[in-house]
C-alpha cells in the first residue's frame, strides 16, 4: 500500500509513532500528483519544494521530541481563494492571475503554526461562482470517478485532489454548497461549518454573510481533525463567534434515540430518483440502528434559491468592485482615461459567470429596486432561519440529499446558467440560515457515480454531525478509498 492511500488520521498516527516520516508521506503525495494530475487537473499551483522543506523540518522537530499537532506533517491542499503569503492566490480568475498576497489568511496562519505541509493551491470556479469547476480561467478539473464528468463546484479542485489521492486533506469554501456539492460528486466527506466558527479573514470574499471555509477528507475523522485545527474565534473577523471550540471526534457507536428529520421539500420533483433512493436507504440504515425518523416540512425552501442568488450576488457585486486594475492583478493593455481603464479591465478580467452575478447584484441593490429584491430576500433569510429553528425543536438533525443529482458531464450545463444554479437547491438554505452541514458518501448510482447525503445540524452542533456521519461511515465500510484514476 502506498502512503498516499492512508487516511489523514492513519498517517497522523504513523507519523506520531515514527512508522513513517513526513518527508516520505509528502514524496508519496507528489509521486501521486505526478501520476494522475495530468488527468485530474486539480491543482493551479504545486509548492513541492516548500512542502518537502517543511516536511523535513517537521521530522526534525519530531526527532527532537517536540509536542506536535495531529496535523503536523500531513500534506494539505488549499483552495485558491484563501490567501497564502508569497504564494499566488488567483481565485481561478484572469483578474488575479498575478496576485501574490502580502499576508496569510487566519486559517493558513493557524495551520502553519501546527506544522502543516502545504502541497499547493487548488482549482475552483472563478471567485467561487459555479457548481462544476468549469468557470476556472485556467483549467477544467475532472471528476476522478469519471474523467468526462465534472467534480462539482466551486471547490472542485479541493474535492478531486482528495478523492484522487493527490493530497490527504484540503480546504475549500462554501457559500451555497461549494464544499458539500463537490464532496458529494467526488465521493468524499466535506463539512460546511457554522457561520462564524471559522475565520473568513484572508478568504477572498464572494458573499460575506454566507461564505465559510471548511475541510475535505476521505473519512469523517479526517474532516473532524482538520476542522478542529481551523475553527475558533478570530480578532480579525468581526463575524467570528466567541464560543467553546472543543477538539472534535468521530467515533460514535450508538445513535439510539437520535431524532432525524426528513424535509419533504428536499425529496421532491427536482431530485433524481436514484439519489432519492440512495439517501432514503441510508436513512433506513440509521433507523435500523435505533434512530427515530420523522417527516418534516421546511416550506420556504422553494424560494430559497432566489433569495440566495439575490443576497449572494448583491454582496458579490460589492466585494468584487475592488478589482479595478488600479492596485494589483490584471489591468487592460491600452485605455483612454480612468473610466475606460475600469471598463476594459473588468470586461476582460472577469469571466461570464462572474459578470452575470455582478450585474445581477448591482441591479438588485440599485435605488428603486432595493426593496423589491434585496430587502425581500433578507426577509426570506429570516423566515428560513426561523423554520430551521422550529424544526430543530422536534429533531436533532435533518437529512437531505447533498445534490439533486450525481456528477454531470463536462459542458453539459455551461450554456444554461439556471439549470446550473438548480444544482445548489439542496445546499443553499444551510448557508442562508448559517447552519453547519456535512456531506457523506452514501452509495453510487447506476453509472457508478457517488451519491452524497447531507446531514444538517443546529448552529454549533458540528460534533453531532461528526457522530452521525462517523456512525454511518462505520456501518457502510469505513473510510473512502483513493479513487483509481485510469492513466
Partner 1 sequence: MEYEVVVGLEVHAELNTKTKIYCSCKNAFGGEVNTNICPKCTGMPGTLPTLNKQVVKSAVKMGYALNCTINNVCKQDRKSYFYPDLPKAYQISQYDIPLCEHGYVDVLVNGAQKRIGVTRIHIEEDAGKLLHDDSFSGSLVDFNRCGVPLIEIVSEPDMRSSAEAKAYLDTIRSILQYLDISDCKMQEGSIRCDVNVSVMKKGAEHFGTRVEMKNVNGFSGTVRAIEYEAQRQIEALEKGEEIFQETRRWDDVKGKNFILRSKEDAMDYRYFPEPDLGTIVVDEKELKRLKDSIPELPNKKQMRYISEYGLPEFEAGLLVENIEKAHFFEDCVALNICEPKNILNWLLGDVTRILNERNCEISATRLTSKNLTHMIALIDKGIISNTAGKTVLEVIVDADVSPEKVIEEKGLAQISDTSALEAIAQEIIAANQKSIEDYKKGKTNVLGFLVGQCMRASKGQGNPTVLREILLSIIEKN
Give the active site residue among 178, 184, 313, 423: 178
From residue 333 to residue 352, the character string flagging contacts with partner 1 as x (rule: CB under 8 A) and all else as - is: -----x---x----------
For residue 350, give the 3-state DSSP assignment: coil
Residues touching partner 1, count (CB under 8 A): 44
Least Cβ distance, residue 127 to partner 1 (angstroms)? 10
Q: In this chain, which stretch among 266-274, 359-367, 382-390, 465-473 interacts with partner 1, using CB under 8 A?
A: 359-367
C-alpha span between 349 and 342 (Å, rounded): 10
- Is 384 a binder of partner 1 (CB under 8 A)? no
Which is catalytic among the residues 54, 79, 192, 413?
A: 79
Q: Quick check: 309 binds partner 1 (CB under 8 A)?
A: no
Question: What's the number of CA atoms in the CB half-sphere (13 Å) around residue 344?
Answer: 12
Residue of the chain from 22, 150, 167, 203 that contacts partner 1 (CB under 8 A): 203
Instruction: Give the cell for residue 125.
Output: 470556479
Residue 209 interacting with partner 1 (CB under 8 A): yes
Please state whether beta strands 259-263 and 292-296 pair in parallel, antiparallel, or not at all (unpaired). parallel
Question: What whole-number distance in Å separates Cα of residue 180 and Cα of residue 224?
Answer: 15
Q: Which is nearer to partner 1, 154 or 184 (CB)?
A: 154
Per CB under 8 A, the list member of 23, 51, 314, 420 interacting with partner 1 is: 314
Is residue 374 involved in binding partner 1 (CB under 8 A)?
A: yes
Helix axes 273-288, 462-475, angle to 10 degrees: 90
Q: Is 318 in the site for partner 1 (CB under 8 A)?
A: yes
Give the distance from CA 242 to its chain's centroid.
23
Q: At a CB cut-off of 8 Å and minimum separation 6, what does 1 contact?
A: none
For the segment 71-90, give every residue that binds partner 1 (CB under 8 A). Answer: 81-83, 89
Q: Is the dihedral of CA 260, 265, 269, 272 positive or negative?
A: negative
Q: Is 79 a catalytic residue?
A: yes
154 in helix, strand or coil? coil
* Contact between residue 454 and residue 436 where contact means Cβ atoms under 8 Å apart: no
Least Å distance between CB 300 and partner 1? 21
Residue 329 C-beta: closest distance to partner 1, Å: 8
Nearest Cα to Cα of residue 291 among 469, 436, 439: 469
At closest approach, how far in Å is the CB of 119 from partner 1? 20
Q: Which CB sits closer to partner 1, 79 or 142?
A: 79
Give the binding range for partner 1 (CB under 8 A) out of 174-182, 291-299, 315-323, 438-446: 315-323
Q: How far is the CB of 313 from partner 1 (least distance, A)?
A: 12
Q: Does 477 bind partner 1 (CB under 8 A)?
A: no
| 316 makes contact with partner 1 (CB under 8 A) | no
CA 411 vs CA 148, 176, 405: distances in Å: 9, 21, 16
Per-position DSSP letters for 158-209, written without gaps between them: HHHHHHTTS-SEEEEE-SSSTTHHHHHHHTSEEEEPPTTSB--TTBPPSSTT
Quick one: CA torsion of 181, 186, 187, 190, rounded to 10 degrees? Answer: -50
Residue ranges binding partner 1 (CB under 8 A): 81-83, 89, 91, 96, 99, 101-103, 105, 200-205, 207-209, 235-239, 314-315, 317-318, 321-324, 326-328, 338, 342, 362, 365-367, 370, 374
* Residues with catalytic function: 79, 154, 178
Amino acid at each position: 500500500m502506498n502512503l498516499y492511500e492512508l487516511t489523514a488520521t492513519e498517517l497522523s498516527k504513523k507519523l506520531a509513532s515514527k512508522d513513517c516520516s513526513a518527508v516520505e508521506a509528502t514524496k508519496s503525495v507528489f509521486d501521486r500528483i505526478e501520476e494522475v494530475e495530468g488527468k485530474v487537473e486539480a491543482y493551479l499551483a504545486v509548492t513541492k519544494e516548500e512542502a518537502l522543506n517543511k516536511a523535513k523540518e517537521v521530522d526534525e522537530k519530531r526527532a527532537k521530541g517536540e509536542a506536535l499537532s495531529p496535523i503536523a506533517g500531513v500534506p494539505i491542499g488549499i483552495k485558491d481563494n484563501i490567501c497564502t503569503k508569497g504564494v499566488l492566490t488567483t481565485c481561478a480568475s484572469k483578474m488575479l492571475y498575478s496576485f501574490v498576497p502580502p499576508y496569510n489568511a487566519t486559517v493558513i496562519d493557524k495551520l502553519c503554526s501546527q506544522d502543516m505541509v502545504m502541497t499547493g493551491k487548488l482549482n475552483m470556479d472563478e471567485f467561487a461562482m459555479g457548481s462544476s469547476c468549469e468557470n476556472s480561467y485556467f483549467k477544467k478539473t475532472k471528476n476522478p470517478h469519471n474523467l468526462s464528468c465534472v467534480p462539482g463546484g466551486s471547490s472542485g479542485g479541493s474535492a478531486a485532489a482528495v478523492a484522487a489521492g493527490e493530497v490527504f486533506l484540503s480546504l475549500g469554501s462554501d457559500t451555497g454548497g461549494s464544499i458539500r456539492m463537490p464532496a458529494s460528486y467526488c465521493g468524499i466527506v466535506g463539512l460546511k461549518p457554522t457561520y462564524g466558527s471559522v475565520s473568513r479573514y484572508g478568504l477572498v470574499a464572494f458573499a460575506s454573510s454566507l461564505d465559510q471555509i471548511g475541510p475535505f477528507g476521505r473519512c469523517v475523522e479526517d474532516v473532524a481533525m482538520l476542522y478542529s485545527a481551523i475553527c475558533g474565534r478570530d480578532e480579525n473577523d468581526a463575524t467570528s463567534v466567541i464560543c467553546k471550540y472543543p477538539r472534535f471526534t468521530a467515533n460514535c457507536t450508538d445513535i439510539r434515540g437520535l431524532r432525524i428529520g426528513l424535509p419533504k421539500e428536499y425529496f421532491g420533483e427536482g431530485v433524481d430518483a436514484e439519489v432519492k433512493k440512495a439517501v432514503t436507504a441510508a436513512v433506513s440504515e440509521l433507523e435500523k440502528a435505533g434512530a427515530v425518523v420523522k417527516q418534516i416540512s421546511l416550506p420556504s425552501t422553494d424560494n430559497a434559491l432566489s433569495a440566495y442568488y439575490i443576497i449572494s450576488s448583491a454582496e458579490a457585486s460589492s466585494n468584487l468592485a475592488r478589482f479595478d486594475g488600479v492596485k494589483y492583478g490584471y489591468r487592460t493593455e491600452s485605455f483612454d482615461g480612468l473610466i475606460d481603464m475600469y471598463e476594459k479591465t473588468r470586461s476582460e478580467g472577469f469571466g461570464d459567470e462572474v459578470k452575470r452575478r455582478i450585474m445581477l447584484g448591482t441591479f438588485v441593490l440599485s435605488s428603486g429596486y432595493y426593496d423589491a429584491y434585496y430587502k425581500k430576500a433578507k426577509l426570506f433569510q429570516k423566515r428560513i432561519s426561523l423554520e430551521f429553528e422550529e424544526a430543530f425543536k422536534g429533531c436533532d438533525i435533518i437529512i437531505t440529499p447533498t445534490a439533486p443529482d450525481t456528477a454531470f458531464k463536462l459542458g453539459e450545463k455551461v450554456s444554461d446558467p439556471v439549470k446550473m444554479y438548480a444544482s445548489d437547491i439542496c445546499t443553499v438554505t444551510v448557508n442562508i440560515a448559517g447552519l453547519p452541514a456535512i456531506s457523506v458518501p452514501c452509495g453510487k448510482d447506476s453509472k457508478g457515480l457517488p451519491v452524497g447525503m447531507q446531514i444538517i445540524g443546529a448552529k454549533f452542533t458540528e460534533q453531532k454531525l461528526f457522530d452521525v456521519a462517523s456512525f454511518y461511515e462505520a456501518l457502510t465500510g469505513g473510510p473512502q478509498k483513493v479513487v483509481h484514476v485510469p492513466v
